[in-house]
Amino acid sequence: MAAHDAIGDSVFVDSGSDVAVGSYAVDESRLGAAYALMTLIRQTGFFSLHLLIGMANDSSRASADNPGGYALGMRVLSVMGFIGVFFAIMLRRFETGPGSHGLRRYGQERIPENPRLRPPRSRL
């Protein structure tokens, strides 16, 4: 499960920040399509990476009798981790520079509350 979460971070943003970044960076009328596209890209990445790891393990004949055969699959996961770190660093450099989209401000300023989303008051 932990490897699955790490793969998700390297393929796309993790699901916790999808809502925050999506609702901040996309027009409200296109929010559903944006979430669908983000989910499609992430799930396609999961499928492709799991297929690649399976093919790597099959090609090196990984099994209980040959535990060394899993080394190639582990290398694939390591490379994906390094790619994820590289893109995280590049995103940080871009978003702290002059051409940023303002995503860094999201957690630092208070977004006006939407009165329609406020829970009803108790009548006690």
Domain span holding position 65: 2-99
- 47 domain residue, yes or no: yes
pLDDT band at 98 (very low <50, low <70, confident <90, very high): confident
Q: What pLDDT, in 10s, does the model give residues 43-89?
A: 999 999 999 999 999 999 999 998 989 999 999 999 999 999 999 99
Q: What pLDDT, in 10s, does the model give residues 10-44?
A: 444 445 555 555 566 677 788 888 888 989 999 99
Return the structure tokens found at 107: 């957690």
Residue pair 42/8 in contact by the 8 Å Cβ criterion: yes
Overall domain count for the chain: 1
Q: What pLDDT, in 10s, does the model give residues 6-15?
A: 444 444 444 5
- 45 domain residue, yes or no: yes
- 119 domain residue, yes or no: no
- 21 domain residue, yes or no: yes
> What DSSP state is assigned to residue 116?
G
- 110 domain residue, yes or no: no
pTM > 0.85: yes or no: no
- 25 domain residue, yes or no: yes
- 57 domain residue, yes or no: yes
